[in-house]
Structure formats: structure tokens, C-alpha cells
Amino acid sequence: MKRNDYLYLDHAATTPMRESALEAFKNAEEFAYANSAGGHELSRRAKNLLEESRDFIASYFGAAPSEITFTSGGTEADNWVIKAPFINSKNSQNLVTSKIEHEAVLASAEWLETQGQEVNYASCNKDGQVDINEFLDKCNKDTAIASLMYANNETGVVQQIEKIAKEVKIKNSDILFHSDVVQAVSSEKLDFHKLGIDSAAVSGHKIGGPKGIGIMFLSSKYKLPNYFHGGKQELEKRAGTVNVSGVAGLAAALKEHQDNFDNEKKRILQEREIFENELKNALEIKIVGEKIDRLCHISNIQFKSVNSETLMVALDLKGLGVSRGSACASGAQKPSHVLVAMNVPDIDVNSHLRFSFGWNTKEGDGKYASEIVINTVKEIL
Ligand SMILES: Cc1ncc(COP(=O)(O)O)c(C=O)c1O
């Protein structure tokens, strides 16, 4: 069936703003545009909106409002937690993380290494599950931070965060356990304290909120050095005029997400299943993490003997937008570090594409996408 619309299946890179988020953002710009740190009526209006939004967001994640600091996105929150404790640190503490983290964590860790800091990376199995024993073995009495993502942005594969966080604490209760939950928020209900994590990075634009807004959750048990220096905003923890409209948009997106959670998840899972089944019946493919726990919105597929760049460009020309993996790495033509860590053979590493579904995925999208992909792959082969 030919359709006239461009089908967007790259929601893991960014998802469109939800209507309520757009409205909240626009209202805030129109009626609460003043600086929330000012001392007059309009500033109080902005400050009230900011704090009401913070209260809702905190309760959404089972946290206290004082544990939520607004950032410019997931990247800033990850950088803050990973780097700040080590800056100018003269002691011999180390960081433990995994080889499959998002670039926001990995590049921060690599930067720390250039500063002489010790970083230990745990590996994963062929399905992309991090080796728990290896991760725990690397945590020792000198570990300051252990950082493991909740679910991978290229494969959707979920890690056993609650179990790992608990075992890390048994090894050394002083370790701050950080989790990048950026991809997970759109498909899982997360309560940070119940999960046992001490800090988390969240991004607004992955859940139907605006770009340029994110959250750094930090348990009240911990204090971190500031990463930005300047004014005394955000309880003196993060300098810079607060993006109140972004925060209001993010709160509205989370509320809409909460209200529609079950229906959206069911629809996304159904469309992904139709898509994957159609492909399996027609082509030689491998679905990453097919048999294990993975987020409902991501489908990472390996197409036998097809170059992913060629296929991605051909799909784009036919009106289907997908990606080769992380948006931060695509275009770089470098094999995905996640697939390399999973020991995907050299011959297959450049034949994977990521299809990611989202809150506005409609019934029929899975079938339509599969028709485009099947026809295109057959033309290429
Ligand atoms: C797992 C993960 N962490 C962090 C980020 C970065 O978030 P932001 O774009 O808000 O900086 C992304 C976005 O690609 C992501 O998928």
C-alpha cells in the first residue's frame, strides 16, 4: 500500500513533541517568560511554574523535588555525574562502567583517562547483556562511581539494574551507582529509589518533551561538585538561567505519557511485532536481543549481505526514516562500538539498522514499514 506521508521510525534519536508539551512550552513562553530567579510578580509566576513542574516530575520518578536538577539534556547529566567527582581529585579513586554506554558516558570516561584517572570497562555477551560478575569484580574499595545504562540506545537491550545496583552496594556501600535511563523512560515506569540507583540522567526530547532540557536525579544521600559555575540557580547546584518553558514542556510530556502509558506500549509492541514478523518471513535477518528483555520501541536488525548505509539511504528515498544506530555516531561510518563489544563479526557489523517506534506510531505503520524494507532489500540484493 502506497502512502503519501514520510514514515518516521527514528524515535530513539528524538521523538516529536507531544501536543500537551508544545502547549505547555508555548504558554510558558507567553505567560511565564520572566527569569525565575527575579524578584517581581512575573518572576514569581515563572518560579511557581518551575516548582510545580519539579514536584510533578519528582513524584513521577518516586524522588523528592530537591533530588531533581534541571540540565540541558541527558548528555549534561551524564557528564556531570561521571566527571565532576574526579575533577582536581588527587586521590586514586576509579570509575567502573561498561563498553556499551552511550557516548555521553563513554567519552566522559575516556576524557577522565586522559587526565590520568583509572576507568574500568565491563564487557557484554553476544546479546548485549553486560557481564554482571565482571562489572562487580571491577568495583572495589577505591571505586567512586559505577555507571551502567538501564537499556541500550542502539539495541534496546535492558540490563538488570536493580540487581546490579544492590550487589554493587554490597561490595562497597560508598559507591555512587549512576544509570543513564534516557532510552528507558519512554517504555518503562521507573521509580529511582525502588531501583536502588543513586543518580540518573533523563532527556526531555526522547519522551515527547522539548529538546535542550533534561534531568539529573541525585539521591539526597549524595553531594556532587558543581559542573557549571555562575549564578546560584537550582539550589546553587547548576548555574544558568533555568529553561522554565522546557521544564514545563517536559512535565506536560511526562503527564501525557503517564495517562496513555498502557495503550501506547501495547500499540508500539504490536506494530513492532508485525514489522519484525513480516521481515522474518521474507528476508534473511537477525533481530538483536529478540529472545531477551529489550525496550518495546527499539528493533535493531541485521540484514544478511546488505550494507546498512546503502539501505538507510534507499529507505529514506522511499519515505522511511531510520538510523544505523546512535544518532551521535551515524554519518561517522565507524562500526558501532556496541556491536563491536557484542563481538558481531566484521562482515556483519555494517549491516545493522535501528528501527525505533514512538508515541505517535499508528496502527498499520509496522506493516507499511515492512513492505518498504522488504521491497528495498530485494532490490539491493
Ligand atoms: C542512552 C542515551 N544517553 C544519553 C543521550 C543524550 O541525551 P541528550 O540528547 O538529551 O543530550 C542519548 C541520546 O541520544 C541516549 O540515547
Residue 331: per-residue pLDDT: 53
Residue 189: per-residue pLDDT: 97
Residue 326: per-residue pLDDT: 60
Question: Which of 11, 97, 206 has most ligand 1 atoms within 8 Å of its beta carbon, as the pocket-test mutant?
Answer: 206
Give the CA radius of gyration of the chain.
21
**Centroid of ligand 1 to alpha carbon of 109 (angstroms):** 15
C-alpha cell of residue 88: 582536581
C-alpha cell of residue 19: 501536543
Residue 26: per-residue pLDDT: 98
Q: Which of 93, 81, 86 is nearest to 140 (CA)?
A: 93
Question: Which of 10, 98, 203 has most ligand 1 atoms within 8 Å of its beta carbon, as the pocket-test mutant?
Answer: 203
122 vs 133: CA distance, rounded Å: 9
Sketch out the chain's domains with CATH numbers.
7-17+261-380 (3.90.1150.10), 19-255 (3.40.640.10)
**Centroid of ligand 1 to alpha carbon of 270 (angstroms):** 25
Which of ligand 1's atoms lies nearest the C-alpha of 13? 14
Give helix then strand counts, H and E, for the chain: 13, 12
Residue 4: per-residue pLDDT: 78
Neighbours of 66 (CB within 10 A): 12
**Centroid of ligand 1 to alpha carbon of 105 (angstroms):** 10
| pLDDT less than 50: residues of the chain | 328, 330
C-alpha distances in angstroms, 184 versus 93, 150, 190, 200? 29, 7, 8, 11
Question: Which of 102, 202, 328 has most ligand 1 atoms within 8 Å of its beta carbon, as the pocket-test mutant?
Answer: 102
Q: Tell me, what amino acid is at 138?
A: K
Contact 294, 158 (CB under 8 A): yes
Residue 327: per-residue pLDDT: 54
Residue 3: per-residue pLDDT: 79
Pocket-forming residues, ligand 1, beta carbon under 6 Å: 73-75, 78, 102, 104, 149, 153, 180, 182-183, 203, 214, 327
**Catalytic residue set:** 328
Contact 106, 120 (CB under 8 A): no
364 vs 372: CA distance, rounded Å: 13
Residue 106: per-residue pLDDT: 98
353 vs 361: CA distance, rounded Å: 18
